[in-house]
């Protein structure tokens, strides 16, 4: 095992996390499951190649129909602390100590402690974030409730596509989720279990029941190693990929002793259509700012199927995150307008039967909990079995009608460039036009621009073709050009965005692309985010 030295200023946190025993645990965890991680990633490549070569479309699997048609099985009931989670805080990168403390002091039922979409996985951020979780679990933050009374921690390790560059086991870089999960379990698993407050997880970007099966094996192995009862770990799987939407029952079945349910979100899921079928004209996704929302057939069907599937099997179903920021003056028109818009969309999710959802802005916690109380009864909606729902493959695969606007092109370009700029600054999310943007919105933004260029789509406004020429012209408008002149990092981000959207083949994840890109890697040397302020080139670790 090889481990990079500590980031500047985090020597004490590093020593706390990387003890001899924790390193032995990580070594054994990684070496036990390394090959199986490679296998599930190869399976992703194989399935994509089959779809491309055959022209086939996904459907419900024939070889697992016995699981779907067996009415008798259920997931194990969740513990008391998970039975009522109407409103969680989302996108909370735990390296942000002040926001983490405010979340722990809040009236939310849960916190999505995020090492994925809302987090930039610099070495500094991973160590700081995991150490902050230790401090919360062991009640080391002042004026914060003990872990048994604070909002429940829903720990979200990185997804399978992410690597940890600062640790190598047997000569290979470590899968990011095993690094995060292993350290969190080793240092916090037993204490969380003793306080009946975990360990609970979110699992990102799962694409098949085989990946759920691998996570289940990892859970069983960890519980045995740490002396925890089987089923202590509970995990919510985010259904963020169109292929996983056809395997929801199988995913629940594989995790039936460890399931905390399934979660649906709009933007990663929508982007997966471009990922899997982007070259096909029939799957051209229209302007998301005008034509894509949860009321469209393909997204409504996905959410209703998820709720029906979960409740049929005794599992909780949760909705996505409300990204808007609530203006501070409660008497202002803008405050009332934003609150009304969020309430309308979240009421649709409640009426669909979800048991909870997330907000980013802590000011939305109270009004959204009130919305739940007014429109539901009890801790959850497990009794809403949605017998009225019938979802076919056509429902799940029906693209909404609509075109592309110049506003939508500009918006997607801005979000993509500013996300890359945030990553180069060591930040996993940023604020733009009154809401939070993270890797999920960056993913759909760059996916749409790539697809519109690929299909030479015409703008509704003036008939111009979205092309290799138009995209840089749109990007380098005078205000942005002036900003890039003042900020070399922003200019670098613009260049990197153009690289991504002009590639012949679609890069599968923007986070994978950035995490393996020299510009990002070279920015993460010993100075970490502080060194970035100078905009000077830094050597790679």
Burial code (b: 16+ CB inside 10 Å, e: under 16) for 381-395 equals bbebebeebebeeeb
Considering Cα of 453, then 458, then 461, then 464, what sign does the dihedral take? positive
DSSP secondary structure, 327-388, as one string: PS-TTSHHHHHHHHHHHHHHHHHHHHT-SEEEESSGGGHHHHHHHHHHH--SS--TT---TT
SS3 content of the chain, % helix, strand, coil (to 5): 50, 10, 35
State the catalytic residue, choosing from 156, 158, 288, 313: 156
Name the token pair of 504.
Answer: 């012949």
Q: SS3 of 40, please?
A: helix
Phi, psi of 88 (to 5 degrees): -105, 155
Angle at 29 between CA 26 and CA 31, to 5 degrees: 105
Catalytic residue list contains 52: no
Name the token pair of 282.
Answer: 């029939």
Catalytic residue list contains 458: no
347: left (phi over 0), alpha (psi -120 to 50) or beta: alpha
Bridge partners (DSSP) listed for residue 358: 88, 321
What is the rounded (10 degree) CA torsion for 142, 148, 153, 155? Answer: 110
The span from the CA of 415 to the CA of 234, in Å, is 34
State the catalytic residue, choosing from 91, 355, 438, 446: 438
The span from the CA of 464 to the CA of 457, in Å, is 8
Sequence-distant (≥ 6) Cβ neighbours of residue 8 within 8 angstroms: 526, 527, 528, 530
CA-to-CA separations, 83 to 80, 86, 87, in angstroms, rounded: 5, 9, 12
> Are the C-beta atoms of 205 and 271 separated by less than 8 Å?
no
Bridge partners (DSSP) listed for residue 458: 465
Cβ neighbours around 79 below 10 Å, total: 17
* Residues acting as catalytic residues: 156, 438
């Amino acid at each position: 095992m090889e481990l990079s030295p500590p980031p500047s200023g985090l020597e004490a946190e590093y020593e706390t996390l990387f003890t001899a025993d924790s390193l032995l645990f990580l070594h054994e965890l990684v070496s036990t499951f390394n090959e199986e991680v490679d296998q599930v990633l190869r399976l992703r490549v194989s399935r994509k190649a089959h779809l491309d070569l055959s022209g086939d479309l996904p459907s419900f699997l024939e070889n697992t129909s016995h699981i779907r048609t067996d009415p008798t099985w259920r997931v194990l009931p969740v513990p008391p602390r998970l039975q009522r989670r109407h409103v969680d805080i989302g996108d909370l990168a735990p390296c942000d100590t002040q926001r983490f403390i405010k979340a722990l002091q809040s009236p939310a039922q849960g916190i999505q402690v995020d090492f994925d979409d809302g987090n930039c996985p610099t070495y500094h951020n991973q160590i700081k974030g995991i150490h902050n979780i230790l401090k919360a679990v062991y009640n080391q933050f002042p004026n914060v409730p003990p872990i048994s009374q604070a909002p429940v921690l829903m720990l979200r390790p990185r997804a399978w596509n992410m690597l940890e560059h600062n640790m190598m086991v047997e000569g290979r870089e470590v899968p990011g989720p095993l690094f995060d999960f292993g350290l969190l379990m080793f240092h916090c698993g037993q204490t969380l279990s003793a306080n009946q407050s975990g360990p609970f997880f979110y699992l990102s970007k799962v694409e098949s029941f085989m990946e759920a099966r691998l996570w289940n094996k990892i859970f069983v192995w960890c519980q045995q190693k740490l002396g925890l009862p089987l089923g202590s770990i509970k995990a919510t799987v985010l259904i963020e990929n169109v292929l996983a939407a056809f395997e929801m029952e199988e995913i629940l079945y594989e995790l039936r002793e460890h399931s905390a349910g399934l979660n649906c979100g709009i933007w990663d899921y929508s982007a997966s259509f471009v990922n899997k079928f982007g070259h096909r004209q029939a799957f051209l996704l229209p302007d998301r700012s005008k034509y894509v929302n949860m009321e469209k057939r393909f997204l409504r069907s996905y959410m209703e199927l998820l709720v029906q599937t979960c409740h049929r099997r005794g599992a909780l179903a949760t909705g996505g995150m409300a990204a808007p920021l609530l203006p501070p003056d409660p008497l202002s028109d803008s405050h009332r307008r934003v609150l009304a818009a969020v309430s309308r969309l979240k009421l649709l999710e409640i009426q669909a039967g979800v048991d909870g959802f997330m907000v980013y802005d802590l000011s939305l916690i109270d009004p959204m909990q009130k919305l739940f109380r007014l429109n539901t009864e009890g801790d959850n909606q497990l009794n809403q079995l949605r017998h009225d729902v019938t979802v076919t493959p056509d429902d799940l695969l029906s693209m909404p009608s609509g075109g592309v606007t110049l506003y939508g092109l500009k918006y997607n370009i801005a979000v993509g460039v500013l996300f890359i700029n945030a990553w180069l600054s060591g930040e996993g999310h940023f604020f733009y036009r009154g809401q939070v943007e993270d890797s999920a919105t960056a993913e759909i933004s760059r996916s749409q621009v790539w697809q519109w260029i690929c299909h030479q789509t015409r703008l509704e406004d003036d008939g111009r073709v979205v092309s290799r020429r138009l995209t840089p012209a749109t990007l380098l408008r005078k205000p942005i050009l002036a900003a890039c002149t003042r900020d070399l990092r922003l200019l670098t981000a613009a260049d990197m965005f153009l690289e991504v959207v002009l590639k012949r083949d679609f890069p599968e994840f923007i986070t994978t692309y950035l995490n393996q890109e020299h510009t990002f890697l070279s920015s993460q040397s010993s100075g970490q985010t502080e060194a970035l302020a100078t905009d000077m080139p830094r050597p790679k670790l």
